[in-house]
């Protein structure tokens, strides 16, 4: 309720009363002593004068009250306009931020198209998401879905502009919700969201999380993974942030699918489709690298040339499908015996395999090759409902003992293999 000031009104009436008290005795004495006949007129004039003065003072105060009310009304309007302008400024700032964020999507597309490998694509998407949505206290996580295991796996993380390490590698209750629903998720406050069991959340989490946004990565009907941003503070994200993350996820899903296709195409170009081993062209590149590495370190490695004995007879007797079964069986046994970090397994020819055993001298390589030969000979293979056995011959050469040149090293191993074949097959021979 607006209060009208009374101080000015009090001063006006006090002044009028003071004048009246001062003038009344003086004029009264004058008229009573010198002109008593006019005293009546004097008092009557004085009375009307007082009335006029009272009216003028009242009118003046009414006008002051009206002006004061107008000022109050104007001030209220100013306050409303100021509040409205502040709201509009906030809305404009939010709009400018949104425009800037969406304008940066063009840059995101350009950066993602530059990335070919899956690792580059994942790191780029994670970094750009944190740069657009996240701040220094927000963590961006990119999960990929493994169809073979049915589990998530972290491929990239960022906190602000820095890489971050997350201990929970397979996702939590929130990621499980996104997988189940295949819908975007916004959690403003973990402790107030009825959809999730707080005790389970606290038991699962290895780092404090109060709010998050999460979006599934989907291309067509294929679920690729999850793009997520979380924060230690509650109410850190809005629906606008979730919509922006969904757009980033759409762009990222396409880029990840392209990276997976590129990776598959690259694998097909360097790996044999039947055995999964490296092809001869890629083997030469890897072998050159191994020679350079061994020269730097002063270490040795060995090369095994493995050939399936009388392989043509199996093809002629049982057909090419049976030959493929034999190749797959031998490749699996090679993998079981020699799948160690640094070793290289390749399909060198039709029924020939070349194995590079790093940090392995000739004597040890001969022992490992003999173990493989015995295992292959004992292995029973079923071809067209008939049980049979196969045998392999193996030639061995070592770096740098036999040669320091790739072509010569392979030639030495091949020559040792020829010796094993010539001396009766099913043997292991070393280059002398």
Would you name the residues annotated as active-site residues?
351
Return the number of other C-beta atoms located less than 10 Å from residue 33's C-beta: 9
CA distance 107 to 126: 14
CA neighbor of 278 nearest in space, from 292, 267, 289: 267
Q: Is the dihedral of CA 179, 183, 188, 189 positive or negative?
A: negative
Kindly give the interhelix angle for 239-270 and 118-132, rounded to the nearest 10 degrees.
Answer: 170
Return the number of other C-beta atoms located less than 10 Å from residue 221's C-beta: 6
Q: Is 345 within 8 Å of 335 (Cβ atoms)?
A: yes
Output b/e per residue, 343-375; b: 16+ Cβ within 10 A.
bbbbbbeebbbbbbbbebebeebbebbeebbee
Peptide bond into 99 cis (omega under 30): no
CA neighbor of 392 nearest in space, from 365, 350, 420, 361: 420
CA distance 224 to 252: 10
Please name the helix (run of DSSP H) or strand (run of DSSP E) that holds residue 143, with its range, or none.
strand 138-146
CA neighbor of 225 nearest in space, from 302, 140, 310: 140
Q: Is 118 within 8 Å of 259 (Cβ atoms)?
A: yes
Residues 6+ apart with CB under 8 A from 124: 111, 112, 114, 115, 255
């Amino acid at each position: 309720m607006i209060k009208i000031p009374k101080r000015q009104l009090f001063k006006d009436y006090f002044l009028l009363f003071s004048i009246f008290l001062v003038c009344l005795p003086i004029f009264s004495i004058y008229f009573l002593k010198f002109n008593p006949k006019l005293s009546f007129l004097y008092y009557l004039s004085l009375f009307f004068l007082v009335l006029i003065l009272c009216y003028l003072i009242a009118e003046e105060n009414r006008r002051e009250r009206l002006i004061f009310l107008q000022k109050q009304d104007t001030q209220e309007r100013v306050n409303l306009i100021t509040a409205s302008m502040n709201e509009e400024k906030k809305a404009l700032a939010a709009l400018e931020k949104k425009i800037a964020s969406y304008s940066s999507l063009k840059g995101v597309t350009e950066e993602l198209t530059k990335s070919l490998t899956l690792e580059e694509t994942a790191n780029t998407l994670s970094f750009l998401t944190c740069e657009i949505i996240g701040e220094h206290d927000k963590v961006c996580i990119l999960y990929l879905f493994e169809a073979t295991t049915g589990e998530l796996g972290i491929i990239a993380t960022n906190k602000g502009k820095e890489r971050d390490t997350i201990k929970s590698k397979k996702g939590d209750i929130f990621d499980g919700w996104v997988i189940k629903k295949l819908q975007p998720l916004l959690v403003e406050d973990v402790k107030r969201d009825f959809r999730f069991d707080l005790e389970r959340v606290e038991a699962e989490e290895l780092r404090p999380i109060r709010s998050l946004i999460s979006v599934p990565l989907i291309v067509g009907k294929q679920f690729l993974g999850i793009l997520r941003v979380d924060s230690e503070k509650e109410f850190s994200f809005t629906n606008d942030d979730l919509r922006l993350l969904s757009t980033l996820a759409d762009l990222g899903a396409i880029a990840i699918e392209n990276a997976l296709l590129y990776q598959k195409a690259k694998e097909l170009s360097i790996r044999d489709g039947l055995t999964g081993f490296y092809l001869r062209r890629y083997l030469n590149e890897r072998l050159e690298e191994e020679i350079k590495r061994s020269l730097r370190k002063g270490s040795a490695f060995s090369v095994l040339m493995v050939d399936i004995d009388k392989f043509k007879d199996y093809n002629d007797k049982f057909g090419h499908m049976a030959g493929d079964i034999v190749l797959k069986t031998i490749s699996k046994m090679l993998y079981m015996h020699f799948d160690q970090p640094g070793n290289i397994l390749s399909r060198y020819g039709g029924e020939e395999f070349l194995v590079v055993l790093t940090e392995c001298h000739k004597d040890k390589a001969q022992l490992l090759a003999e173990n493989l030969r015995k295992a292959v000979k004992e292995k029973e293979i079923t071809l067209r409902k008939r049980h049979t056995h196969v045998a392999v011959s193996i030639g061995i050469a070592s770096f740098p003992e036999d040669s320091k040149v790739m072509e010569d090293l392979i030639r030495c191993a091949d020559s040792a293999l020829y010796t094993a074949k010539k001396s009766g097959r099913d043997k292991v021979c070393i280059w002398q």
